[in-house]
Structure 1
Amino acid sequence: MTKKVKKNLRCVLLGHSMDKNIRGFWMNNSDRLKEIKQRLHVFNEAEEYARLVEGNIPKAQHYISIIGITLDFNSITIIDELITIRRVSNAPGLVHLFGVADLGHPDYFSIGRYSSNITAELVAGFFELDNRDKLNCDFLLDIAWHILALLKLRGHSTVFSPGYTSTSWDLVCIQPKNSLIFRSLDDLPRQLRIQPITVVTLEDMEWIKEYWNNALELRDRTSSGRFGLAYNVMYTWNHTDNYRVALANIWCGIESLFGRQSDRRVTDALCQRISEWLPQFSKSTIRDLYNQRCNAVHGRKLENNEIVKAIQESEEILRLSLIKCIETRERTLPDW
């Protein structure tokens, strides 16, 4: 397409007059012009929506994207003046994302793979309040990750966060050209999904509001490494596409909670402690799951459906063990 044609295309789309010599070209290509207008309509709609909701979105330091869940509410504050979770209805596609990205920070390439699927965001650090100074970035990101891990504890295993930026993901499309720095968080070309995308409810959020601080205290590395490792594993166990690796990851978390160096009959003692902590699981059931873990880790022949079943049941043990720790503010064992 020549420069002159491009110029006249812009005139047509903006409703301006065009060169007489090329008017006939557009009259003979009306179907093509109609198609172009229809394609651009999608972008115009996104920008119009963003301008409509812009005044209703709180201003903050960071907007942490969330994929893999949907919300059955619009927004809820989790930690006053610090963290809110809200639904995203206008996630940016590649055209808008690349158009506003600061090209000197290339993380936008990885985030662009996921951006159109963003369904929610954590709004972190409300610097508007009382004109206070901005909070430490690492602190805000750690709190945000803490909340995302609690969502996984509530059974939303497909949740992950591609990245964050300094404006709401609903408003990315109306930002000035090359103005936003995007930073990657969970860059997951592969994620093992053994359940469909789930819906986060107000009940989930009320639980998180009540217990987030308990979990934060239990993660304190100065007093214990067991809970912190298991909590981290709960978030990352399915950051792979290999069933065997996923099962091994889960048992890494379980053994960090219940393993003891002084045990002589290691497996028997491990299964006994788990069954005492979670009486709804019998010792024999736990032993069978541990055997499947060994089969997977040592490369023995297993059908995928056998491993998936072991993953589901083992993940439930890890999840419920951590939930009991959080709700009771107790650790499973002292550190060695």
Structure 2
Amino acid sequence: MSDVTGEQKPLSPAEELRKAARILERQAEYGQRIIDEAKLQQDRDKRKGYFIGIAGCILPGEGRRISVPAIDDDPIFSITPVTNRPDIGSLTRALTPACKRNFSYLNYLASFISHELYISERIAATPQAALNLAYRAISLLRLKTNCLINGISYSEMPWGQMAAHSNSVAVQPLEEPRRALWKSQSTIGESDLEWVILRLARDFELHEQPSYRLAYDSAAYAPFLKDPRTAVARIWSGIESLFDVQNELSFRLSMYAGVLISDDFDQRVDVQANFKRLYTLRSKAVHGAKLDSLRLEEALTSSWSLLRDLLLACIRTGPLLPSTPDLDRALLGRQLARDGGVATHTPDHADDAEA
């Protein structure tokens, strides 16, 4: 209320109390709506498994869920938008006593989570197995789609249902929320998730080789490093690890990259030319030469795309990286054997893999 001069008149103590009571009532109503919706979601949800909170995910269609298989009440994998995220009061009440100590950080973490990757207990018997599968699935989705997602929380319950519980929800932080060094508007579709499912076994096979593992981890972490030049160096350490080359690096690496990525002659020529151009940019970036922001961004994003293409080619080619003699024979005209990346057996060592 204001007087004729336009100045706001102070509220009386009774009015101040009524105003505070109305605010508290609205907050209580809002919290109760979250709890009621959490209970409804829990009643409808038949999934039993593990939930990885992910940031940076874009699905083709607002509010859409993608899953494999798509018609199953309990799919093997699914990615679902997070709805009905608990407020800080609901979250604190829901957390286990051990997790309550980190309630503020977990509430902060939740603000970055847009979607959840669900992994059914049918394919992951333990939390460790689920975390290992999640790391592989998220990394493969980045390679397949160029969508720079990252997993930042783990729980055995969706965020949207946590408010229905009391003192029983455990949430484990995985990674600090990190912004990628470049923006990507790529989306993840159901066919991409299915592609990942079919190639997880191949990924486990290849991951047993240190050179592939270095390249794979370089692709996983480089987009989220703080310094672009450091990221370029990390990417190229991954690229070079895929080939056993000790001399004539630019020439031989570019030739091997061409035959690994494609069986088509014209595409091989394009890959070789692009590789040599990027190798020059890489040298300037990692040795501190002056580069404007556009050239540095090109060195970063194009080098990551090259590493991505090489890893996808490795997945298509076989459970072992092509040897130097294999690549030399391909240069002389023999094609590399490609099976599309679908392994002949399912790995039984998911529990033992490094998270």
- Does TM, normalized by the shorter one, top 0.5? yes
SS at match of 2:150: coil
Match of residue 327 from structure 1: 316
Q: How far apart, CA to CA, are the structure 2 residues paired with 1:45 and 1:245?
A: 47
SS at match of 2:278: helix
Q: How far apart, CA to CA, are the structure 1 residues paired with 2:103 and 2:15?
A: 40
Match of residue 90 from structure 1: 84
**TM-score w.r.t. structure 2 length?**
0.74
* Residue 164 of structure 2 corresponds to residue 181 of structure 1: no
The match for 1:119 among 114, 121, 126 is 114
Q: Contact 1:292/1:310 (CA < 8 Å) preserved in 2?
A: yes
SS at match of 2:289: coil
Q: CA deviation at 1:229?
A: 2.1
Bigger Cα displacement from structure 2, 304-313 vs 77-86: 77-86
Match of residue 191 from structure 1: 179
**How many residue pairs get matched?**
301
Q: CA deviation at 1:330?
A: 5.6
SS at match of 2:281: helix
Q: Contact 2:254/2:275 (CA < 8 Å) preserved in 1?
A: yes
**TM-score w.r.t. structure 1 length?**
0.78
Match of residue 230 from structure 2: 245
Letter in 2 for 1:313: S
Match of residue 273 from structure 1: 256
The match for 1:34 among 22, 29, 35 is 22
SS at match of 1:171: helix
* Residue 200 of structure 2 corresponds to residue 217 of structure 1: no
The match for 1:135 among 117, 125, 129 is 125
Calculate the aligned-residue CA RMSD, in Å.
3.0
Letter in 1 for 2:294: N
Q: Which runs of 4+ in 1 moved over 6 A?
A: 78-82
Bigger Cα displacement from structure 2, 39-48 vs 75-84: 75-84
The match for 1:62 among 50, 58, 72 is 50
Q: Contact 2:67/2:75 (CA < 8 Å) preserved in 1?
A: no
Residues 271 and 75 (structure 1 numbering): CA distance in 2 closer, same or farther, change over 3 Å? closer
Q: CA deviation at 1:148?
A: 0.8
SS at match of 1:70: coil
Provide the identity percentage. 22
Q: CA deviation at 1:273?
A: 1.2
Letter in 2 for 1:240: L
Q: Contact 2:233/2:282 (CA < 8 Å) preserved in 1?
A: yes
